[in-house]
Structure 1
Amino acid sequence: MKYRIKTKLVLSLVIFWSVALAIFLAAAKSDNEIKAGQITINDPQNPGSFFISANISKENAKTNQNDYVSPVLRADFPFNALFVKWQSENTSPNNSDFELYLRFLNENWSPWQKIMLDDDYQGKDTNPGQISSQMIAVKLTDSFQYKLVLANGQPKTNLKNLQFIYLDTTKGPKNNFTISLQNKDNGLKIISRAEWGADESLRYDPQSGNLWPEEYFTPKKFVLHHTAGENANADPKATIRAIYYFHAKIRSWGDIGYNYLIDSQGNIYEGRFGGEGIVAGHAYLRNRNTIGIAILGCYQNEKNSQNNSNCNSPDNLTEATKISLNKLIAAKSREFNIDPLGQSEFHGQILPNVIGHKDVGNTSCPGNLIYESLPASRQLAYNLLVEMGGYKKPLASSAEFVSLSSQEIKIEETKSAEITVQYKNIGQETWRGYEDNYLYVTDSEIKNKIAKINSVAIAMSDKDETPKQTENFPVFKLQGGNVYPGETGTFKLTLNAPLKETETKKFILAWQNKGYFPDSDFALTLKKIACNCGQNNNTGQADYKALLTSSTFPSQMTAASSQDIALIFKNDGNRDWQKDKLQLKITYANNQISPFRNDSWYSVYADIPPAESVISLAAQATFNFKLKAPDVLAAFPHTITLLYDGQKIYEYSQVIDVLSAYQAEIIVNTLPLSAKRNSRPKVKITFKNTGSKTWTNVILKSTDIDGTNSWFRDWSWLDKKTIKQINKTVKPGEEITFEFRLLAYWKPNKYPHVYKLFNGQNQIYLDAKKELLTYTQVTK
């Protein structure tokens, strides 16, 4: 009897706690849920609609003849954040012929609040014709009005699809306002995405595909932003959840655009998913090699006649925020060897390593209050870096082989197969899987080309190049961005069928040209089997096959230039191609929209049809389109895919290097090969403008090879590094001559000197190189 009572008691307790746990989990899920709603106004027949055409009836005016005030609009639920979007034929944020105001109802109506354009509306990408406002954080309300003020009563452009997106992000973790600051040391606590309540499901599409695939580059610059908008610091976590939702869902980016965010209390928050080195979306086409840091709030109190992004009520840049910002810059500078006081070339300009968004974009962000504090932040961050012990010292690197998905693999001829290999990081150094710094698995013959990693010096050398990948020398990169000590790294190997029936291949783990890891060898047996071709239409099979016979797809383009492209494919299969089923797709990096897209494309992914209606067997399909290069100096990897009826039948990769429009050819150069010490030889250098831009303010500079003062600087120079400045118009094809003197160093030796040419802030490339390097022997 006692046994039965105990059994019933235990069973009752189990049921009770199970139900309680279920209720708790449901409540927890509910507590973190973001509610989103939208009001779209685009019908001119409905009262309160918003649609500017040739005129607006002045009968609708409520204040004066150029104003229109809407009826009260009600949301489906109380909200704490609101964004405004609209479409316009005029997408320039600097050319608006109207102003939009909002007010909100709580106990009473709030004052009218001017809607400001979002400074970061071109962070990751943007939809053509789509303009958005800064985020407006408000006290919970469900009622608001808008007011339209026309500049002259007659708008110049049509505006339609005015959308008010309102959010309730108040449900979620609350703030601990002491979590990031540690007063007695330089410790740094970063609030994780889980801690601020990120809903990770927003990063995926309905098929569980990653909306924004991770891409990694070594950070070299810090770009400062403000999030703008009002009341951002009243509930910082709710504000960040609102920004995250807006970026991820409303803009369809798939994540928040910043790497880090900082509130007025000094709390630091993790931004974009992916960890160190992840490429975020905070500065259009300047996101690689940068860390984007956003300060919650609006920090512009100066009127900017060229931009509408001013603050209604500027926030104060608090001491707590500045301390945390400087700590964050110092910590990441230590991790990635960045000099906070330094400067370097970035997309054709010499810029400090800590900059504002306005330095790389047409914006007032991060506001003058933050921008004016940057010189002090650079110095204070550098001081903190010194207190931390300076740049991170190289640590020992070591790897341990963990597993191989298969030691023998059968591959059909004309096809390929994929295997997975894993290594454990048993050293002290973090492994990187960045585009410009990564571990890789390759043919063991690499041991004849690079050294063994058996010392810190070799493991952390400055040689960042990687042997070029070829069919016989494959390079399989580390998956993901960072593998910390104790973690396991994964490498995926895609292998083609061997030429022989059976072939054994040996592989090893290496880290660029830093060296290969000892005892990381493994062998694979590849067996070729007959192709089961012609039974379906999958890639590489005989029914639908293609062969690229001609291509003008360039490996180089000048910035902001356009080029006509023609790709010709031969029908190498067993069936005719129909025009309506054949498409050429072009993507950038990890299936992103190409920055080279233009009006000749049928979609953001090109989807170009062939010129021919029917392409018979052995006939050719021609694809004509244009590429328009962005005004960004960088290498842009592209994937060109030929699809038939949605199936891939041909694919290859092509990198386009965008070159500066500022180019010069050295016509005359009398730099001496030798000079007596303390002598002042006269030098003449003539440059021909071989680019597409006109020069107006030409500056010649010279330094030592490491960027310090030149061994040959003369007292006649403008400063220690600037030789001369000539304010002259030099059109493409014209020449300009610099005549100046050098002062040879007093100590005999062979000294290098570097010369760089600029048009204002824009660097001019010399004979397709960034600089001219020469050596002069100083004699007695």
Structure 2
Amino acid sequence: MLNKNYLLLVFLFPLLFGVLVGILLIDPVVANPSETKVGQITLNESNTASAFSNTENLLISIPENKLEEVIEKEEKADFKFNAVGLQYEGNVPENSNLEFYLQVEDGEWQLMPMMEPATEQGEELKATDLLFENGESLKYKIVLRRNSTSDKSPVISNVKVTYLNTTFGPKGERSSALGQRSAQSSKFVISREDWGADESYRFWGPEYAEPKKFVIHHTAGGNGGDDPAATMRAIYYWHAVALGWGDVGYNYLLDSEGNVYEGRYGGNNVIGAHVYNEVKNINYNKGTIGISIMGCYDDNNCPTLNKFNKKIKNSLTTLIAKKSKALNIKPKGQSVLFDVKTPNIVGHKDLDYTTCPGNRIYKKMKRIRIQAKKKYSNNTYAWRGKMEDNTIRTAYLGDWKQEVTVSYKNTGTRTWKKEKTYLKVYNDDKEDVSKFKNRSWKDKYGKFEFNEKSVPPGETATFTFTINTPKKPDLYNNIFKVFINKSPINKSKTMVTTRVDKTPK
């Protein structure tokens, strides 16, 4: 006779085996939907011994009697990648030059644009911008030049090529749809969560300063292509981890379709890492909002040249107008920031020694200021609000009591204070007492305070109160208005129509 435990084991084994196999077959990408795969190639003595004039310190320089030194190497990656960047230590003296080139698969050699310093922490490792190409193999080429043999040679070391696969996560189609919806809704900016930011990479805590200017950049890399969310994740890793900035350097980024992405974590007025003048030792990050356009827009210094199209320009000027209203910045004005008086909307090159944001964007700066001012002027109100939502049902039975919430967004330029702001409810346009009045109302029109302590521009106020439906079946129009200091604020008047049905006996 078989042991009962044995029979139980025989019965359970196939079931347990099936569960185990199912677990093993699960794609790891599902478990970690925004995983960034990282690979690295280090230039060292073993893979290019002839390149080093000083093998002990692994220094690369031009031989004594030469004007040029070229180092070229082909490598196979450990996985498919979609972005590549390069870092090094060293310096480039006057009358000399250093260039890095990358070739992905059998494509063309592409000159890698150098990144400018973005923080005052004094990065030892210098870096190129990311190149966005798909592949599994690459060649890199380092070219050192000087004008004459009497000139000093560039001396570099610790050369690293980093390749990334950031395609695991929210896809570009999702982000594009969000961006399109934002044109008709209050959600204008695609959040970090929506583009798949891995918050474990972030280690630089938010710091804050009141912005006075907008600084326009280009990423000098890919324009987002078919998967701008993957481009965002690559830029995030490159800035936060590889460069050690602890987060995305820019406050906002735009893709080729005009979608706007949240960059640096921390919300309004957070200080970014996008413009630091190393020569003057001035940190222009304090007091500026960094907005970067995905892609490369310089006729003389781009791996792939992109077009600064109408979609980008429209979203850029809308973003600037919205932020200008909230921060009381005049888009066509000028102001002093640290040592220099400049327009309130500038290119990176206006504050640092760089070609960023590229001549194709920079030549449009005057037009950008004009369009931003026009949008700013068309909709600038100190006190302005818009009903965003309410929990009032479209139909009720007569003599019905319910607690409801009405939400208003502050679309003006001033903060709403609790003690001076209230919501009133009227019956129809005659502004009679509402037929939905409840005994708990402290005023015949309600005069409800919002739930929050204060509501800054761009934020939402919620008013919660109780209504009582009338007994008579009919269609009723309730008019809602928000008041500041006894005066109704612009655009807050909203009609909500409700049907009241006869209560069954």
TM-score, with structure 2 as normaliser: 0.65
Equivalent residues of 2:80, 2:134 under 8 A apart: no
**What amino acid does structure 2 have at the position aligned with 1:55?**
P
Indicate whether 1:103 and 2:103 are aligned: yes
Of residues 284, 289, 292, the one that matches 1:291 is: 289
Secondary structure of the 2:367 match is helix
Would the alpha carbon gap of residues 321 and 184 (structure 1) be closer, same or farther in structure 2, given more than 3 Å must change?
closer
Secondary structure of the 2:133 match is strand
CA displacement at 1:89 relative to structure 2:
3.6
2-side partners of 1:290 and 1:382: how far apart?
A: 18
Would the alpha carbon gap of residues 95 and 115 (structure 1) be closer, same or farther in structure 2, given more than 3 Å must change?
farther
CA displacement at 1:126 relative to structure 2:
4.8
Secondary structure of the 1:71 match is strand
2-side partners of 1:125 and 1:157: how far apart?
A: 23
- 1:236-251 aligned at under 5 Å gives the runs 236-251=228-243
**What amino acid does structure 1 have at the position aligned with 2:73?**
P
Equivalent residues of 1:228, 1:299 under 8 A apart: yes
Secondary structure of the 1:242 match is helix
Secondary structure of the 1:241 match is helix
Equivalent residues of 2:61, 2:154 under 8 A apart: yes
Post-superposition Cα deviations, 1:561-610, rounded to whole Å, max 9, x if no partner, equal xxxxxxxxxxxxxxxxxxxxxxxxxxxxxxxxxxxxxxxxxxxxxxxxxx
Q: Cα RMSD over matched residues? A: 3.9
Equivalent residues of 2:209, 2:287 under 8 A apart: yes
Of residues 374, 393, 405, the one that matches 2:383 is: 393
Equivalent residues of 2:190, 2:259 under 8 A apart: yes
Equivalent residues of 2:84, 2:164 under 8 A apart: yes
Match of 1:267 in 2: 259
Indicate whether 1:213 and 2:205 are aligned: yes
Secondary structure of the 2:193 match is helix
Equivalent residues of 2:29, 2:168 under 8 A apart: no
Secondary structure of the 1:361 match is coil
2-side partners of 1:30 and 1:454: how far apart?
A: 46
Would the alpha carbon gap of residues 339 and 297 (structure 1) be closer, same or farther in structure 2, given more than 3 Å must change?
same
Secondary structure of the 2:372 match is helix
CA displacement at 1:394 relative to structure 2:
7.1
Indicate whether 1:225 and 2:224 are aligned: no
1-side partners of 2:245 and 2:136: how far apart?
A: 28
Would the alpha carbon gap of residues 379 and 182 (structure 1) be closer, same or farther in structure 2, given more than 3 Å must change?
farther
- 1:148-547 aligned at under 5 Å gives the runs 148-152=143-147, 156-176=153-173, 177-181=176-180, 189-203=188-202, 211-230=203-222, 232-284=224-276, 285-301=283-299, 303=300, 310-387=301-378, 389-393=379-383, 454-455=419-420
2-side partners of 1:347 and 1:127: how far apart?
A: 20
1-side partners of 2:460 and 2:48: how far apart?
A: 63
Match of 2:280 in 1: none
Would the alpha carbon gap of residues 77 and 345 (structure 1) be closer, same or farther in structure 2, given more than 3 Å must change?
same
**What amino acid does structure 2 have at the position aligned with 1:179?**
L
Post-superposition Cα deviations, 1:3-28, rounded to whole Å, max 9, x if no partner, equal xxxxxxxxx99x99999899879542
- 1:695-774 aligned at under 5 Å gives the runs none
Of residues 55, 69, 90, the one that matches 2:63 is: 55
Equivalent residues of 1:223, 1:290 under 8 A apart: yes
**What amino acid does structure 1 have at the position aligned with 2:171?**
K
Post-superposition Cα deviations, 1:182-203, rounded to whole Å, max 9, x if no partner, equal 6986865211111111111101
**What amino acid does structure 1 have at the position aligned with 2:352?**
G
- 1:581-660 aligned at under 5 Å gives the runs none
**What amino acid does structure 1 have at the position aligned with 2:296?**
C
Match of 1:81 in 2: 83
CA displacement at 1:179 relative to structure 2:
3.1
Post-superposition Cα deviations, 1:419-451, rounded to whole Å, max 9, x if no partner, equal xxxxxxx99798xxxxxx999xxxxxxxxxxxx
Match of 1:569 in 2: none
**What amino acid does structure 2 have at the position aligned with 1:390?**
T
Would the alpha carbon gap of residues 19 and 110 (structure 1) be closer, same or farther in structure 2, given more than 3 Å must change?
closer
Post-superposition Cα deviations, 1:346-389, rounded to whole Å, max 9, x if no partner, equal 213222111111111121111111111121111112222233x2
Post-superposition Cα deviations, 1:270-318, rounded to whole Å, max 9, x if no partner, equal 10111111111111211122211100011111x5xxxxxx223321101
1-side partners of 2:183 and 2:62: how far apart?
A: 64
Equivalent residues of 2:250, 2:264 under 8 A apart: yes
2-side partners of 1:482 and 1:214: how far apart?
A: 20
Would the alpha carbon gap of residues 174 and 375 (structure 1) be closer, same or farther in structure 2, given more than 3 Å must change?
same
Structure 2: state its 5+ residue gaps: 1-13, 53-58, 277-282, 386-405, 422-452, 463-505
Indicate whether 1:132 and 2:127 are aligned: yes
Secondary structure of the 1:136 match is coil
Equivalent residues of 1:343, 1:350 under 8 A apart: yes
Kindly tell me the number of residue pairs found equivalent between the two proteins.
378
Give the helix-richer structure, 1 or 2: 2
Equivalent residues of 1:335, 1:391 under 8 A apart: no
2-side partners of 1:122 and 1:158: how far apart?
A: 19
Post-superposition Cα deviations, 1:163-208, rounded to whole Å, max 9, x if no partner, equal 11111112111113343246986865211111111111101xxxxx
**What amino acid does structure 1 have at the position aligned with 2:131?**
I
1-side partners of 2:19 and 2:325: how far apart?
A: 49
CA displacement at 1:124 relative to structure 2:
2.6
Secondary structure of the 1:75 match is strand
**What amino acid does structure 1 have at the position aligned with 2:287?**
N
Post-superposition Cα deviations, 1:380-429, rounded to whole Å, max 9, x if no partner, equal 12222233x2144278xxxxxxxxxxxxxxxxxxxxxxxxxxxxxx9979
TM-score, with structure 1 as normaliser: 0.43
2-side partners of 1:126 and 1:156: how far apart?
A: 26
Would the alpha carbon gap of residues 366 and 184 (structure 1) be closer, same or farther in structure 2, given more than 3 Å must change?
closer
CA displacement at 1:259 relative to structure 2:
0.6
Equivalent residues of 1:255, 1:272 under 8 A apart: yes
| % identical aligned pairs | 35
**What amino acid does structure 2 have at the position aligned with 1:343?**
Q
Match of 1:32 in 2: 34
2-side partners of 1:429 and 1:297: how far apart?
A: 34
Would the alpha carbon gap of residues 268 and 215 (structure 1) be closer, same or farther in structure 2, given more than 3 Å must change?
same
